[in-house]
Amino acid sequence: TAPAHWLFGDQLGPHFLTPGAGGPGRDAPVVMIESRAVFRRHRFHRAKAHLVLSAMRHRAAELDGRVRYMRAETYREGLREAVGDAPVTVHHPTSYAAARLVRALPGVRVLPARGFLLPHEDFRVWADGHGGGRLRQEDFYHWVRRALDLLMDGDTPAGGHWNHDHANREPPPRKTATLGAPAPYRPREDDIDAEVRADLDRWEREEGIRFVGRDGPRLFPASRREALAALRRFTEHRLAGFGPHEDAMLAADPVMSHSLLSSSLNLGLLDPAECVTAAEDAWRAGRAPVNSAEGFVRQIAGWREYVWQLYWYFGDDYRHRNALRHDAPLPDWFRELDADAVTARCLATVLAQVRDTGWTHHIPRLMVLGGFALQRGWDPRELTDWFHRGFVDGYDWVMVPNVTGMSQYADGGRMTTKPYTSGGAYIHRMSDLCAGCAYRPTDRTGDRACPYTTGYWSFAHRHRALLAGNQRTVRAVQGLDRLGDLDDVLATDRRWDEAPP
Ligand code: FAD
């Protein structure tokens, strides 16, 4: 018989078990291991712990007689108990730490990674041929579209343009509190969820395992059936409106037209190829405009795939980069998701979304959470860890490039062309979050000074030389030079070093 095949908790869809080249043996027995030590070592959001355990146990229930499901302290112990010294296969795991572990275990044969669009070797050839150090996401995206014949008409991009970003940066509607998009798919909990919740309660009570955040009703798919329903609901009813307000934020409508598919993709319940194909099909059938279909395809084939490839291409040391020498610790109120301690309405709203659901869309992550951390000079490694544990879709491979590179510029510009942070004016333009806030985005001194505005100037002041040397940020320095009250602004800004904004 074929050797047993080990499935990690983010390899849960059927495509991780299809036999054939680079796959497990046909009908190979399956091993799954729930490691308790993972939860002892790190403090996860409870909704995330719930989702991952629920998804693993749903998969085990589907595989029924074929699976040995181990509840063990460590992976090593679980594997030994499941198969003893017998050989096993496993698809390449998604983190450096797990990759080291499987290589160090005797008898484990590592098969190529699945769950992404392109093999690492192809990316390496592409990247080495494109200057290595200064890669451009847009070039990568075109290359992927061509390589996979995705949204292409022959050799030209379908719909006439590679990129419809210009149509996808609209501010939110001003007269309504919500976008009015059709509701997203939400699952219904079952007995497996009840069992998971009882286990988590017991671990907290009896084993001293600690979580952050609230574990309300499960909001994200935990099985292939649920994930397919979510994908279908999105492509049939919500994709059409995905594009225009992609970057906008509304206090009463955190989801807007976002797909909510990241956790399903990252658990391996959905394959990215089927998601982009579904979006292209919707456009070709006239169910979605090209800017929405292209915008969604770009997120998955352009960004998700890029981040995955860069994680391996940049190497394990990349996580330690700290080009801006930011070393302030994360304050407790942020670490504990204490939204009630925060006055600034944007940050309080977003922090509450994370506390209550373990999710918020990309602009709150980048501009509200990441932007604030960058302004305060918080340690990027601590911040990466915070994001990783606190989000339902957080995994090492996706958080390290997104936080270290994209959001904190800790790599000195290997991933992005400029640091992303902004004053209150940006948040005001792109959201309704400044309405009713105790601060005013235009104020930079005094009681109503907006912490994002003071933080922006303080950041520009600290990193003046860096920003002056970059075409894309030189205007920030010119603006700084025009401020007549910089000393007051900096003094105002120091308030937020002591207390939540
Ligand atoms: P949509 O807006 O509907 O986008 C569709 C899909 O595109 C997502 O489901 C996701 O799979 C993919 N995608 C888009 N951008 C990215 C990206 N930068 N990296 C990876 N995938 C992307 N995404 C994660 O999946 N896990 C993370 O841990 C994560 N951390 C982030 C941290 C920061 C600081 C930032 C700025 C972004 C992060 N993202 C992460 C990317 C993005 O914010 C989420 O993928 C997205 O908000 C998930 O919601 P959605 O499924 O509704 O996304």
Give the pLDDT confidence of 222-248 residue by residue, as tens digits.
999 999 999 999 999 999 999 999 999
CATH number of the domain that 66 lies in?
3.40.50.620
pLDDT tens-digit map of 429-480: 999 999 999 999 999 999 999 999 999 999 999 999 999 999 999 999 999 9
- Measured between alpha carbons, how far is 375 from 373 in angstroms, rounded to an integer? 5
Q: Are residues 361 and 476 in the same domain?
A: yes
pLDDT tens-digit map of 321-334: 999 999 999 999 99
Does residue 205 fall inside a structural domain? yes
For residue 165, what pLDDT is reported? Answer: 87
Q: Are residues 332 and 287 in the same domain?
A: no
- High-pLDDT (> 90) share of the chain, %: 95
CATH number of the domain that 274 lies in?
1.25.40.80
Q: Is the dihedral of CA 360, 365, 367, 371 positive or negative?
A: positive
Give, for ligand 1, the residue of 262, 353, 398, 415 to mutate: max count of ligand atoms closer than 8 Å to Cβ.
262
Does residue 265 fall inside a structural domain? yes
Does residue 216 fall inside a structural domain? no
Ligand 1, atom nearest to 366 Cα: 36
Q: Is the pLDDT of residue 30 over 90?
A: yes
Q: Are residues 370 and 404 in the same domain?
A: yes
For residue 91, what pLDDT is reported? Answer: 98
Structure tokens at 309: 């490839």
Among 314, 345, 366, residue at a domain's last position: 314
Q: Are residues 129 and 85 in the same domain?
A: no
- Measured between alpha carbons, how far is 171 from 252 in angstroms, rounded to an integer? 15
Distance (angstroms) between ligand 1 centre and the Cα of 266 equals 10
Residues 329, 485, 493, CA angle at the centre, nearest 5°? 15
Q: Are residues 25 and 170 in the same domain?
A: no
For residue 130, what pLDDT is reported? Answer: 85
Among 111, 130, 149, residue at a domain's last position: 111
- Give the model's confidence band at 306: pLDDT under 50 very low, under 70 low, under 90 confident, else very high: very high
| Burial class, 286, CB count within 10 angstroms (exposed 0-12 / middle 13-18 / buried 19+) | exposed
For residue 21, what pLDDT is reported? Answer: 84
Q: Are residues 124 and 86 in the same domain?
A: no
Does residue 79 fall inside a structural domain? yes
- Measured between alpha carbons, how far is 67 from 31 in angstroms, rounded to an integer? 6
Q: In the predicted model, what is the mean pLDDT of residues 212-223?
A: 97
For residue 15, what pLDDT is reported? Answer: 96
Mean pLDDT, all residues of the chain: 96
Q: Are residues 124 and 105 in the same domain?
A: no
- Give the model's confidence band at 1: pLDDT under 50 very low, under 70 low, under 90 confident, else very high: confident
| Reported ipTM | 0.99
- Measured between alpha carbons, how far is 281 from 283 in angstroms, rounded to an integer? 5
For residue 389, what pLDDT is reported? Answer: 95
Q: Are residues 146 and 245 in the same domain?
A: yes
Q: In the predicted model, what is the mean pLDDT of residues 270-287?
A: 98
Structure tokens at 180: 């009015």
Q: In the predicted model, what is the mean pLDDT of residues 358-387?
A: 98
SS (H, E, C) 220-255: CCCCHHHHHHHHHHHHHHHHHHCCCCCCCECCCCCC
Does residue 417 fall inside a structural domain? yes
Query: Who lines ligand 1 at CB under 6 A?
Result: 258-262, 265-266, 296, 299-300, 303-304, 307, 361-362, 365-366, 370, 387, 391, 393-394, 398-399, 402-403, 406-407
Among 290, 314, 338, residue at a domain's last position: 314
Q: In the predicted model, what is the mean pLDDT of residues 273-287?
A: 97
For residue 450, what pLDDT is reported? Answer: 98
**Protein residue with its CA nearest to atom 20 in ligand 1:** 304
Ligand 1, atom nearest to 399 Cα: 28
Q: Is the pLDDT of residue 133 over 90?
A: no
Give, for ligand 1, the residue of 186, 238, 255, 299 to mutate: max count of ligand atoms closer than 8 Å to Cβ.
299
Q: Are residues 339 and 447 in the same domain?
A: yes
Does residue 65 fall inside a structural domain? yes
For residue 134, what pLDDT is reported? Answer: 78
The owner of tokens 């290589």 is 103
Distance (angstroms) between ligand 1 centre and the Cα of 396 equals 13
- Give the model's confidence band at 132: pLDDT under 50 very low, under 70 low, under 90 confident, else very high: low
Q: Are residues 386 and 453 in the same domain?
A: yes
How many domains does the chain contain in total?
3
Residue 134 domain boundaries: 120-191+198-210+222-314
Q: Are residues 58 and 14 in the same domain?
A: yes
Asked if residue 257 lies in contact with residue 238, where contact means CB atoms within 8 angstroms, the answer is yes
